[in-house]
Homo-oligomer: A and B are copies of this chain.
């Protein structure tokens, strides 16, 4: 038997699990206080739903569940059994597909606009490597059924509040609109079918600068005319919203300005939010606004999201406006653990030791301390000193020996 967890998954030690719980609760409470409601959905989804979902490359990473009993026998007896015929369900690879299904299944019992929280585990059969987990936590809020840019504002204010709550305060919100991206590519004269390739190159602007982007576009053999026209947009050094307004539908720019202005106003200018024309974000399903949060000390985004108006309604065969924002929980947890994070304002943990025949009385004593402390009761170990070292390593704050009248001894007071 193997004592390690399966590749790409993790056992969390008590202190780690406590920090995960604390962070999740802090985020959850912020979301709830802002009027969002948590739902939960099963980890298992129907294979048909997973296969037809818009997961892009994630569809190749689904953990599939083997059929059982007669169904399995039939599949095997067919002589041409394959992945598809052998499995009837799979583990979800994100929380958006379950949310779409859930909304279709429970629409009549839900308030619309539906302001929803999902914080739960998802599964991807990634090649195991550092920082890539096969079982991980996603932490999403979504607003379903609100076509107005107010939904974006609500999400940005709520998500940044949650980030502040868990100690991430030095950050910038980057914002763009998929339709602006399309418009500037079209204005330059690129083929629409090249948009994805173009986006991948343009996304590197922050790293390689406009000269680097130009070089990569040239290397990829795009039309020289289109490249020149595209690069000319950056003549003044950067591309601001006013310049963009000249080459795309005014509505896109108005909506971004409204979102940015409102976020600044409501937050008293405490939230930095900047138009970032090269922001792309991966998921193919975004249809409008896209945004992400960059924070000091974190490489890559700590949160990201956008508007996806064609996805939620898939089960209902109608377009339903939706916008979501997801916190990169595992990335944040990983960094906080490395930094030696401690849970703020937590009740202290102490141990109460007892000698033979005083267990009942020691329990009563321990109970009397539980308003102030989290209290574990232990038989007094033979090697008390060694055990005390272990307690300290396990984040205990101190101990008391029942029957000795010197009360609680805190380690940091020694």
Contacts and interface: CB of A to CB of B under 8 A. Distances in A.
Give this chain's copy count. Answer: 2
Contacts of A351: 35
A14 B41 contact: no
Interface in A353-404: 359-360, 363-364, 366-367, 370, 374-379, 390-391, 394
Interface residues of A, number: 96
A113 B1 contact: no
A297 interface: no
A34 interface: yes
Nearest to A105: B3
Given A6-B45, A104-B3, A359-B153, A83 B87 contact: no
A65 B266 CA distance: 49
Nearest to A395: B37
A197 interface: no
Given A11-B41, A37-B14, A111-B391, A46 B266 contact: no
A130 interface: no
A215 interface: no
Nearest to A52: B1
A394 B116 CA distance: 13
Interface string A184-197: 00000000000000
B87 A81 contact: no
Contacts of A246: none
Interface in A1-42: 1-6, 9-14, 17-18, 20-21, 25, 28, 32-42
A335 B76 CA distance: 42
Interface in A75-104: 76, 81-83, 86-87, 89, 91, 101-102, 104
A349 B18 contact: no
A contact patch SS: mixed
A44 interface: yes
A172 interface: no
A251 B250 CA distance: 85
B41 A375 contact: no
A9 B370 contact: no
A262 interface: yes
A68 interface: yes
Contact of A150 (B32, B87, B359): B359
What are the 10 tightest A-B residue pairs by CB atom distance, in nearest-first order? Answer: A35-B376, A9-B42, A14-B37, A3-B104, A3-B105, A64-B66, A266-B363, A12-B40, A265-B360, A3-B315
5 contacts: A4-B105, A5-B101, A17-B37, A21-B38, A64-B66
